[in-house]
Structure 1
Amino acid sequence: MIPFNQHTQSNFGELPQLWDEDESNKSKSTRCLLFSSQYQKQDPEPLKDLQNLDSLFHDTSPPFRYQINDLANIESQYSELIKPHTNQESLRHEIKESKLSTDAVIRLGGERFIQSCSSSVNDISMPAHPYGGSFSGFNDQEAKDVEMIENLLLSAEKVTHQQFERSIKLLEWCDVLCSSSGNPIQRLVYYFSKALREKIAIETGIVSPKGPGKKHVTEMERRMLIPNPTTLSVYQNLPFFQAGQFPGVQALVDAVSGVTKVHIIDLSIKQGVQCTIIMQAIASQPNLILENLKITAVGTKFKERIEETGDRLRSFAESINLRCFSFHVAMVDDMLDFKQDLLDLDPDEAVAVYASYALWGMIREQDRLEAMMKVIKNIKPRVMVVSEVAANLNSPNFVNRFIEALFFYGAFFDAIEECLGRDDENRAITESVYFGNAIMSIVASEGAERVVRHVNIDVWRKFFARFGMEEKELSMSSLYQANLMAEKFPSGSSCTFDMDGKCLIIGWKGIPIQSLSVWKFS
């Protein structure tokens, strides 16, 4: 089990106390344990005859794995996406109890959209109350929220047919009701409407396609390397971040347990919070005299910020009397230049690779991603821990990508409302800087200009198979860590867990948010 010490707070903000010897917590952990103690044995077949990586990462599977066929067949397309995934009895119960969730609003708006598209009326329709008498349990705001989602989907559908004027009219109606400071649906529609307007401006030649691209993501990455109240607040208050991080650290610690020389290669160091947990966990192993604990941060930009993170980690090491700690930076201008000799490896040390949201940024530069993985394969680490977004936001099909992103960010807006509150300044900054820019890239950009790309665990499995990587089962102690962390939050019951083969999927009210998988090299 990972021990946790209050010293961690000194340089990295207030973090939760993890170590809890109260055995009663173990019985409580069953509340969130949606996965089975026996894993589903669904190891994927190795990818055969893959001609290029584009065909892998441009996964055309529809959102939530429902078949979407011809764009022209609107009713078939969206009914297969939305209806089978909806528990109608549950939705009606939510309506009756006036507890309509963000996810339910999106799905009901999708059903309303299907009805609109399948009707013979082609003009823009804005009924006063969706679903008529059969859904009379809606209050006025819920009715408006469902209608906003319907018209947002209608607008996206018009864009696919290059009916831009009609799309803009629908967005104008959405803009009357949406707001960056309203409820989760109003805020969600606000940013998706803004992104659709940008897409229309690009496709009509009003602005350059380079508008919503790399500069926004670069700014997001820079902010992630600087300790600031916003990122710390989100980390401390949204349960699925820590519920995904701690079991990953546990898996890494399990792999190097009992070793006196440990080398952690972190592919996305950010503010280094995960490193403080790793450092203390490894150093606290009973009856072990640790000779060397080295962390190497790999990066291609923001060297000064990474070195500042290293300084904070050295200070933390001093605070817990970890004298054998050292920190190094493996910096390259281009990941194609990343070489094994940059890592200063010792043949006597146990190497582990930690990759938390580190790989998705190279999906658009697949030669860089492949070059980096070849180096890691040659290192032969004991374990590679991978956390990534658990959604397919890289489909070349705009409609698929749009709907998947709507559900994914809908869950985020719902979570941040529940965990931070609508009036929290950090809520506003997170949504405008991080979510807003990501939505803009996913929705408005196409081809090489689309920077934000995420794929699900099935795609990563196929990619890792190219390097002889084998997925490992997460230990029960790792799974226990996930539940234990969720239980420490007031909103922890909304944090859900499921197993996709050997991969842990962490979600918010059933919507997948992130995946955690552990790998070894054969």
Structure 2
Amino acid sequence: MHNSRSKSTSAYFNPNSPASMELLSRYRSKFKQGSTDEIVPDCAGTLSTVEIIKLAAEKFINFSTQRSNGYTMFTHPYGSSAFTSLSIDDMREVELVFQLLTAAERVARKQFETASKLLIRCGCVASDGGTPVERLVYYLCEALQNRIGKETGIPVPTKPNKLGLKNENPMAMGTNPTFLACHQALPFNQVLQFCGIQAIIDQVGTSSKVHLIDIHIRSGVQWTAMMQALIDRKSEITLLKLTAFATSSDVQKVEETGKRLESFAKTLSLPFLFKILVLSDITEVKEEQFEVQDDEAVAVYCQVILRTMISKPQSLENLMRAIRRINPLVIVVAEVEANHNSTSFVNRFTEALFFYGAFFDCLEACMSRDDVHRGIVEGVHLADGMKNIVAYEGDKRVSRSVNINTWRLFFTRFEMVEIELSESCLYQANLVLQQFSCASSCTLESNGKCLIVGWKGTPLHSLSTWKFDQE
């Protein structure tokens, strides 16, 4: 699933290279606001983080064009009428992102001394406790500084975490307070989960025995809704079996999840069996370990987990072969909708800038700036993701999200066909979204047969459903 195009990194942000212009220019048409001339403040008079980034990219493009033609940035610093109505604060943030882009250009050209000076300048303005733009730039500066350190062999001093936290195993995210707080505050997980559950209900129909296989169970909170939906059906359910994957280090947390689900099932008088499939490595999974019975309606649920296997293609392919052998009625795949797997550093940096810009903007709308859980999400989980995308290469780069079209190509290799989401699925997604105060900023769009969930038009997640073509 690696990007097949291989170009030197310096070819992209070189101001004399058309590729640099094309790379940033394409973002003008990527989102709903196709041109910077169409960028307008919201009702509060502020621009979104992505709009700030687009304006900074516009300035960067014009500056690079002028520089390659022998002019200076002072000749024509802005190329769009959108700049004329900017507030002082917005102008300051556009300049901050412009400096960040310029620093990334210098890193790509291996002009590390100049890049470091630009990053220090950014650091004087950026802050991990400020506006979304300031927070975004703060962590991307750290990521670029780490890349410089790796390129030059000079280690970058580790900054003390103001929260005194260490990174956590992503598999454990589902049972800690931060994950649960974000689950309640941000719309994405709930929209994906309820839509995915409805997709499973649609496919298992009136089956009396249902077997769910969860590749990445986390808190398992979505399965309480599934239980309720099965009880509310007209047809009787005689057994709901749930098989959850776990690593040896996560067994205890998954066991706790199982006990909570067993307790909830008991309150509904629902026959329920919870099984843990412990694997030291996903390559170990075998068809017989699923213990699928002939009379079971089987559904497989993969929420933001397949992306973690892209750097280990043998594991991912082995998993898909094992799932194919049990031939489930439906496979639900919820994934990050972004291209963070390019072999080009600059492509990854630019994708990360827009993707995380939208995510930081959402956090600003949904959680207070001093919320400790927001601090953990940004300072530990998102920061580590950005650092891995920007600073690492080769096997050490494990954050490798790809978009739905890339997944489609991959799944086709295993003779999988995409199932169109029903009107009931889309209704559930909209119903859940309306429970959030930020509903108007969260966007639901169709891409072929799948659902794209985004923030103000920037894609962040995809939900697709699949089955194997057995003909």
Instruction: Give TM-score, length-normalised by structure 1.
Output: 0.81
Structural mapping, 1:443-458, within 5 Å: 443-458=390-405
Give the Cα–Cα distance (whole angstroms) in 1 for the partners of residues 43 and 440 of structure 2.
22
* Structure 1 residue aligned with 2:46: 99
Q: Secondary structure at the match of 1:119?
A: helix
1:227 aligns with 2:172: no
Match of 2:22 among 77, 89, 100: 77
Matched-pair contact (CA < 8 Å) for 2:59–2:79? no
Shift of 1:484: 1.1
* Structure 1 residue aligned with 2:317: 370
Q: Secondary structure at the match of 1:492?
A: coil
Structural mapping, 1:232-271, within 5 Å: 232-271=180-219
Shift of 1:101: 1.3
Match of 1:278 among 226, 236, 254: 226
1:399 aligns with 2:346: yes
* Structure 2 residue aligned with 1:430: 377
Give the Cα–Cα distance (whole angstroms) in 2 for the partners of residues 96 and 119 of structure 1.
35
Give the Cα–Cα distance (whole angstroms) in 2 for the partners of residues 360 and 132 of structure 1.
38
Shift of 1:422: 1.5
Q: Are residues 131 and 404 of structure 1, via their aligned partners in 2, closer, same or farther at CA, if it must alter by over 3 Å?
A: same
Matched-pair contact (CA < 8 Å) for 2:36–2:54? no
Matched-pair contact (CA < 8 Å) for 2:208–2:236? yes
Q: Secondary structure at the match of 2:312?
A: helix
* Structure 1 residue aligned with 2:60: 113
Q: Secondary structure at the match of 2:369?
A: coil
Shift of 1:219: 2.2
Structural mapping, 1:310-459, within 5 Å: 310-322=258-270, 324-459=271-406
Aligned length: 450
Structural mapping, 1:17-32, within 5 Å: none
1:480-505 C-alpha deviation (Å, 9 max, x unpaired): 11111111111101111111111110
Give the Cα–Cα distance (whole angstroms) in 2 for the partners of residues 200 and 277 of structure 1.
47
Q: Are residues 393 and 325 of structure 1, via their aligned partners in 2, closer, same or farther at CA, if it must alter by over 3 Å?
A: same
Shift of 1:95: 8.8
* Structure 2 residue aligned with 1:45: none
Matched-pair contact (CA < 8 Å) for 2:389–2:399? yes
Shift of 1:356: 0.7
Q: Secondary structure at the match of 1:414?
A: helix
Matched-pair contact (CA < 8 Å) for 1:268–1:298? yes
Q: Secondary structure at the match of 2:323?
A: helix
Name the % identity: 43
1:200-251 C-alpha deviation (Å, 9 max, x unpaired): 000101239xxxxxxx9972414414231x2112111212221222111100
Shift of 1:183: 0.3
1:403-453 C-alpha deviation (Å, 9 max, x unpaired): 111111001100010011222222111111111111111111111001111
Give the Cα–Cα distance (whole angstroms) in 1 for the partners of residues 323 and 330 of structure 2.
11
Matched-pair contact (CA < 8 Å) for 2:67–2:73? no
Structural mapping, 1:166-315, within 5 Å: 166-207=114-155, 219-228=168-177, 230-286=178-234, 288-301=235-248, 302-315=250-263
Give the Cα–Cα distance (whole angstroms) in 2 for the partners of residues 253 and 130 of structure 1.
56
Q: Secondary structure at the match of 1:429?
A: helix
Runs of 4 or more consecutive aligned structure 1 residues displaced over 4 Å after TM superposition: 59-62, 68-72
Shift of 1:107: 0.3
Instruction: Give TM-score, length-normalised by structure 2.
Output: 0.90
1:512 aligns with 2:459: yes
Q: Which amino acid aligns with 1:503?
A: C
* Structure 2 residue aligned with 1:57: 2
Q: Are residues 411 and 59 of structure 1, via their aligned partners in 2, closer, same or farther at CA, if it must alter by over 3 Å?
A: farther
* Structure 1 residue aligned with 2:449: 502
Q: Are residues 307 and 60 of structure 1, via their aligned partners in 2, closer, same or farther at CA, if it must alter by over 3 Å?
A: farther
Q: Are residues 96 and 465 of structure 1, via their aligned partners in 2, closer, same or farther at CA, if it must alter by over 3 Å?
A: closer
Structural mapping, 1:120-135, within 5 Å: 120=67, 131=78, 135=83
Q: Are residues 218 and 467 of structure 1, via their aligned partners in 2, closer, same or farther at CA, if it must alter by over 3 Å?
A: farther
Matched-pair contact (CA < 8 Å) for 1:314–1:327? yes
Q: Are residues 79 and 232 of structure 1, via their aligned partners in 2, closer, same or farther at CA, if it must alter by over 3 Å?
A: closer
RMSD after superposition: 2.6
Q: Which amino acid aligns with 2:17?
A: N
Matched-pair contact (CA < 8 Å) for 1:217–1:438? no
Q: Are residues 309 and 423 of structure 1, via their aligned partners in 2, closer, same or farther at CA, if it must alter by over 3 Å?
A: same
Select the structure with the greater relative contact order (CA < 8 A; seq sep ≥ 6). 1
Q: Are residues 60 and 272 of structure 1, via their aligned partners in 2, closer, same or farther at CA, if it must alter by over 3 Å?
A: farther
